[in-house]
Structure 1
Amino acid sequence: MQLKTLLTEDRAVSPVIGVILMVAITVILAAVIGTFVLGLGDQVSDSAPQASFSFEFSDTGDDGFGGGADDYVNLTHEGGETLEAADIDVDGDAGDVNQSSPFPNATISAGDTANYNEVDAGETIRVVWTNPNGGSTNTIARATAPQ
């Protein structure tokens, strides 16, 4: 047996590399196709919008239950993404607060203001975005009414 011919023999290298590359390509394609078939690709782009809100609380008196009947919060969109009003809900610790004057348009953009009343002292008010594609919710702003 010739030792020199064994060291220079490289016929089996090319088919082994070819098989490894084919397996790698198959695995990658299966992962990409599986992601879209299972719908995981749609959820990646549905993250909560980035928006800033300011809260202006008014305490006009006590109704005997910890908050005045006329206590309210003015909620103003300060900046960030434009939001669909149908996807936004405002609630407090005690449940939904009453909207006395809504956002002026179907879309909420910087500078738009809405008024919510029956806010109790110490109650945390949240602006909640509901994903229109999946129903998941995210709190995008929150503030607590003064005591």
Structure 2
Amino acid sequence: MSDLLALLYPWNKAIHIMAVITWMAGIFYLPRLFVYHAEQATVGDARDEVFRVMEHKLLRYIMNPSMIVVWVFGLALVATPGIVDWGMVWPWAKAISVLAMTWFHMWLSARRKEFAAGQNQMAGRRYRLMNEVPTILMIVIVLSVVIKF
């Protein structure tokens, strides 16, 4: 199995990177949609319906599959012999940040369900602030992997 993982390493890495890009695009865009939804739509109006459809499709058809692919191929990379030295800090920093990014994804999913039910309680400003969370996590993840501190 380890020989197969080593042979497939470049492919696993490429697919992982493409999935990360797609996931991050959604992670950055969905809170922005929430800002506009909270500030420009009223429950039941035409804008509300458009935002609901956009948010649903973004999460269901882009973000969820991307997150799954990130996890599957990321775990394949971790399982590849010689790639990760768990005695260093960087893999732990990345792992914690990826878990936090996954939590943020789930938090966004819960907010989408609130919008869909017409029960959003948060203002656009709060969504703007929360949109900084994935930026910080992305910085930690990229620096961890590239610099390997």
TM normalised by structure 2 equals: 0.25
Please identify which structure carries the higher strand content: 1
TM normalised by structure 1 equals: 0.25
The structure whose RCO (Cα within 8 Å, separation 6+) is larger is: 2
Please identify which structure carries the higher helix content: 2
